[in-house]
Amino acid sequence: MTTPWPRIEALFFELLELPPDARAERLAALRASDTELGRELAALLAADAVPEDPFALPSAATTAEALAATARELPAQPVLEPRAGLAAGSWLLEEQIGTGGMGSVWSARRIESGFEQRAAVKLVHAESSARVLARFVQERRTLSRLEHPCIARLIDGGALGDGRPYLVMELVLGAPIDRWCDAARLGVRERLALFIEVCGAVEYAHRNLVVHRDLKPANVLVEGSGRPKLLDFGIAKLLEDDDTLQVRTQEHERLLTPRYASPEQVRGEPISTASDVYSLGVMLHELLTGISPYPAETVRAPELARAICERTPTRPSASATAGANADERARRRGTTPGALARALRGDLDSIVLAAMRKEPERRYASVERLADDLRRHLDGRPVAVKGDGLGYRARKLVARHRLAFGTAAVAAGLLVAAGIAIAVSARTAQSRLADVQRLSDLRQLEDLRAAADRLWPARPTTAPALQAWLDAARVICARRPEHEDALARLRARALPYGAEAAERDRGLHARAGELDAAQTRLASMRWRLEHGRGDLRGLDERIAQLEREIVELERATAERITWDFAAPADRWEHAELVQLLAELARFDAAGTGLVAEVEARAARAVGIGRLATETHAEAWRAASAAIRDPARSPRYAGLELAPQLGLVPLGPDPDSGLWEFAELNTGRVPERGADGRLAIDSETALVLVLLPAGSVRMGCSPPGASSSPEDEDPFARPDEQPVDEVVLAPYFLSKYEMTQGQWLRFTGANPSAMLAGQRHGPHTVDLRHPVEHMAWDEADATLQKLGLVLPTEAQWEYAARAGTRTPWWTGPDRDSLADAANIADAAAMRAGVPWPGVHDWPEYDDGHVVHAPVGTYRANPLGLHDTAGNVWEWCRDEYALYALPTEAESGLRLWKGGRERCGRGGSYLEAASSSRSAHRGHAVLGAREATIGVRPARVVE
């Protein structure tokens, strides 16, 4: 190495820039004059030419692995016994909700980050083997790649002080799917619809190369909302791991639930997605029939294992009528054993048996195919698994209600082409076609429901679409008498209604229980009369009375419920017509149906335009003139405000001088009292304040850390830094948090956890209290329907600061908050609810335990109430760093990909430091908390 390094460097780059021929020439020349230099440069160029890192230099992944290994070597700590109150990271364990071979599951609560959030925490036993730990780590890895509405979500994970790992998962409050279906008395179709959702989740996992391996009703919980959630990926397997070692399979065999295990799982053979298909088949069989596909005597594991591997499973239709409690099982499905067997015979038998075939390769090739067939069955289309016979397919073709034939001739042609074996006269084809078209109404109803959900907000621009919707809906509703006639005609063809069938229907009737009870009482009275027991006075009369009641009940319960037909197509058509008529009745119900709701919405859409241009035209002219005039409204700097649809000017606030407007969809227009202040009650509408354009310095700095002392805040947290100046266009922001009354009036429901009517400490919650406990996307969707939006964090902080730079808008010290904020305080302590935030400032007393009616506390200089405390207010932004850029005008932080959204302002549950103007709360999208509400904003149009 005699050549100096800088020369080597210069020559290296010089050579790199030469074309290959010239490079070789130059290199040869160099080598001729200095052999070693030539060799060294040739080596460097060769090394440079190698595309990407095949040599052993670290990549990000290998560095990470090495780091992970280093981290694991850190010393372990003593064992911690799980108990209520133990902290797992920022989660506090509450109570044990489950336990098993591997570990325990606890409900837990997170309070640390401001929002209160509940979750399930899964811990392994302290004495767990390395293998159990490895499986636990695997579950975490598995879950981290799955994000699906029907799979319980992984929220967090970590290790206890003693190094034991834990998982924090979405807390699913629900019942196992089989129990839920029975409790809800779901019929076959509803069960299938729910099961298809479960298939969707399993299919999603498969597409992400995860096999669940332990599908069973206990691992599929259905929430109150009716959504199924898949749990427990503890023994799930990643398909790309090729370590199908015997050890794993044996271990696995001990853990899985044999009743739902596939033959290959029982035998310890390799497992694939087909194993999940099998387990789904068993589950489906049980959901449909209420019993296992293998005979009841095979309850013990060895026999069951043999049955799984050798015996042909019972067909669902046979299971429907088998066993001692067939009646009860059918009743839980809203039907009778016979009718259930008929519903299952054919498609569903074939589907279940195909999913449960012994040989994995002969089952459905994927869960998606299984679900497809179930959907086909529900739609009355031919299922794939039963590819047999043209007759079968033709039958389906006739029955298919989604079919829209162009003309009767085409229909008849198709039927003939399909080789239908029965003679079809032109006349029957004609009437059949009418039936088919009529039944497509069911699908149209579905489409209309979906469309109605999109026709928001109610504005003149959406009015024509709403009108078109109503026209279409009325056409369908007008056909109702036709459907009723068709039903009557069809029923005339029904099989005879025997005494036995009548007796069975009586049992299915809603008032069957009353009749039973009355008959029992009557028998008892007659016996007493006969044997002269007890008080006999007036017994004759009471018996006569009861007999009259029984006659009445018999008449009421004599209504025919089940109808049966000789032709399967008739049977199907009957079921469809009954459903269609029930749906139509609900759709068109006076006052409560969707048609009535859309009529009201359409009227409002038109009315709102008229309100702006006619009814409130004068008020709007005056408002625009006052706002435009710099002498009267200096803060608006000559802003030109056009009339805004759906808003009515309320004049300026006497203190802030800012103009305020009522939002007409949310209630009655409030009035100003003699002092110029608004009178708010449970009926009044949202009040939006027009905020002038301006800029806000978001965030703060710890003392001494910034060149600008104004930004200092001793409570500054890292996510509030660095201070970011954001410029905003004018916008509307609600003067108060949205109330329970306003939300209820518009959506028809009140999601709040601290619900109007509940008593907390000295106060009873009423409709003036803020609405809370809605997830971020519910808040977002509801506001969109109203033509409103969630404020951005920048808009929120601009409004909350109201020009101040101090930690609170009230001043630099928390004491300044007195009478201005509802936070954790002595009132809560007195009521026996020591909110976590109370210990910081136990002397403070705001008088309220939970939230207070909006506007109870002092307004800030912009006339806004409760920006500090009461409830957190969801913001539009994702929880992201201030270093990221913002959108012009709205100040929205430009960042996508996180799962958390921000909330601002603290709540009745938190300490004063959380209600600082700069403080940022954050929670995952789906979080619903009794402490998170909403303060709507609106774009200036």
Partner 1 sequence: MDPRTDVTRLLADWRAGDRTAAERLLPAVYEQLRREAARQMARERADHTLQPTGLVHEAWLDLARESRHDWNDRAHFLAVAGLAMRRVLVDHAQRRAALKRGANARKVGLDALEAAEPVPEPETDWIALDAALERLAALDPRKARVVELRFFAGIEHAEIARVLEVSERTVERDWRLARAWLRAALETEGAGGTQ
Burial (0-12, 13-18, 19+ Cβ within 10 Å), 537: exposed
Q: Which stretch binds partner 1 (CB under 8 A): 4-12, 176-184, 306-314, 467-475?
A: 4-12
User: Nearer Cβ to partner 1, position 238 or 833?
Assistant: 238
User: Nearer Cβ to partner 1, position 242 or 361?
Assistant: 242
Tell me the two tokens of residue 682. 């449970």
Convert residues 108-147 into a mask of x (bound to partner 1 by CB under 8 A) and - (unbound): ---------------------xxx-xx-----x--xx---
Q: What angle do CA 656, 659, 664 make, to 5 degrees?
A: 135
Q: Which of 23, 94, 125, 158 binds partner 1 (CB under 8 A)?
A: 158
CA distance 669 to 611: 13
Convert residues 698-737 into a mask of x (bound to partner 1 by CB under 8 A) and - (unbound): ----xxxx-----------xx--xx---------------
Backbone angles phi, psi at 580, to 5 degrees: -60, -45
Which residues on adjacent β-strands are paired with residue 154? 169
Residues 6+ apart with CB under 8 A from 86: 80, 92, 93, 160
Residues 864-903 that bind partner 1 (CB under 8 A): 899
**Least distance (Å) between residue 154 CB and partner 1:** 5
Is residue 337 near partner 1 by the rule CB under 8 A? Answer: no
Q: Which stretch binds partner 1 (CB under 8 A): 67-75, 116-124, 804-812, 838-846?
A: 67-75
Tell me the two tokens of residue 384. 């794939």
CA atoms within 13 A on the CB side of 356: 30
Residues 614-633 that bind partner 1 (CB under 8 A): none
**Least distance (Å) between residue 671 CB and partner 1:** 50
DSSP labels, 250-281: HHHHHHS-GGG--HHHHHT----HHHHHHHHH
Q: Which of 22, 67, 421, 558 binds partner 1 (CB under 8 A)?
A: 67
**Least distance (Å) between residue 30 CB and partner 1:** 16
Q: Which stretch binds partner 1 (CB under 8 A): 159-167, 221-229, 727-735, 865-873?
A: 159-167
Q: Which of 32, 47, 423, 566 binds partner 1 (CB under 8 A)?
A: 47
Q: Which of 24, 26, 44, 226 binds partner 1 (CB under 8 A)?
A: 44
User: Nearer Cβ to partner 1, position 721 or 740?
Assistant: 721
Q: What angle do CA 792, 793, 796 make, to 5 degrees?
A: 90
CA distance 386 to 373: 10
Positions annotated as catalytic residues are 214
Is residue 764 near partner 1 by the rule CB under 8 A? Answer: no
Residue 368 contacts residue 595 (beta carbons within 8 Å): no
Radius of gyration of the chain (CA): 36
User: Nearer Cβ to partner 1, position 61 or 426?
Assistant: 61
Backbone angles phi, psi at 220, to 5 degrees: -125, 100
**Least distance (Å) between residue 146 CB and partner 1:** 9
Is residue 589 near partner 1 by the rule CB under 8 A? Answer: no
Is residue 21 near partner 1 by the rule CB under 8 A? Answer: no
Is residue 313 near partner 1 by the rule CB under 8 A? Answer: no
Q: Which of 71, 450, 566, 590 binds partner 1 (CB under 8 A)?
A: 71
User: Nearer Cβ to partner 1, position 706 or 806?
Assistant: 706
CA distance 715 to 709: 14
Is residue 387 near partner 1 by the rule CB under 8 A? Answer: no
CA distance 881 to 722: 9
Is residue 156 near partner 1 by the rule CB under 8 A? Answer: yes
CA distances from 316 to 324, 342, 351, 356 (A): 16, 10, 10, 12
CA distances from 198 to 130, 220, 281, 316, 641 (A): 32, 8, 12, 19, 52
Is residue 93 near partner 1 by the rule CB under 8 A? Answer: no
**Least distance (Å) between residue 606 CB and partner 1:** 47
Q: Which of 2, 20, 21, 50 binds partner 1 (CB under 8 A)?
A: 50
**Least distance (Å) between residue 9 CB and partner 1:** 6
Q: Which stretch binds partner 1 (CB under 8 A): 149-157, 342-350, 370-378, 494-502?
A: 149-157
Is residue 255 near partner 1 by the rule CB under 8 A? Answer: no
**Least distance (Å) between residue 830 CB and partner 1:** 35
**Least distance (Å) between residue 73 CB and partner 1:** 8
Is residue 74 near partner 1 by the rule CB under 8 A? Answer: yes
Q: Which of 58, 101, 268, 638 binds partner 1 (CB under 8 A)?
A: 58
Tell me the two tokens of residue 271. 């497992």
User: Nearer Cβ to partner 1, position 324 or 883?
Assistant: 883
| DSSP β-ladder status, 932-933 and 872-878 | parallel
Q: Which stretch binds partner 1 (CB under 8 A): 115-123, 182-190, 266-274, 697-705?
A: 697-705
CA distance 404 to 411: 9
Convert residues 210-249 into a mask of x (bound to partner 1 by CB under 8 A) and - (unbound): -------------------------------------x--
User: Residue 177 belongs to what H/E stretch?
Assistant: helix 177-183
Q: Which of 774, 767, 772 is nearest to 742 (CA)?
A: 767
DSSP labels, 831-879: TT---GGGGGSTT---S-SS---TT-SPB-TTS-B-SSBSSEEEEEEES
Is residue 20 near partner 1 by the rule CB under 8 A? Answer: no
CA distance 804 to 802: 6
Q: Which of 852, 861, 851, 869 is nearest to 906 (CA)?
A: 869
User: Applying CB under 8 A, what is the total number of residues that bind partner 1?
Assistant: 57
User: Nearer Cβ to partner 1, position 456 or 882?
Assistant: 882
Sign of CA dihedral 172, 177, 181, 186: positive
User: Nearer Cβ to partner 1, position 36 or 547?
Assistant: 36
Is residue 35 near partner 1 by the rule CB under 8 A? Answer: no
Is residue 159 near partner 1 by the rule CB under 8 A? Answer: yes
User: Nearer Cβ to partner 1, position 57 or 590?
Assistant: 57
Is residue 12 near partner 1 by the rule CB under 8 A? Answer: yes
Distance of CA 915 to the CA centre of its chain: 29
**Least distance (Å) between residue 716 CB and partner 1:** 10
Is residue 65 near partner 1 by the rule CB under 8 A? Answer: yes
Q: What share of the chain is helix, strand, coil (3-state, %, to 5)?
A: 45, 15, 40
DSSP labels, 908-926: TTS-GGGGSTT-EEEEETT
CA distance 539 to 545: 10
Residue numbers at the binding site for partner 1 (CB under 8 A): 5, 9, 12-13, 16, 43-48, 50, 55-58, 60-74, 89, 129-131, 133-134, 140, 143-144, 154, 156-159, 163, 165, 247, 702-705, 717-718, 721-722, 899
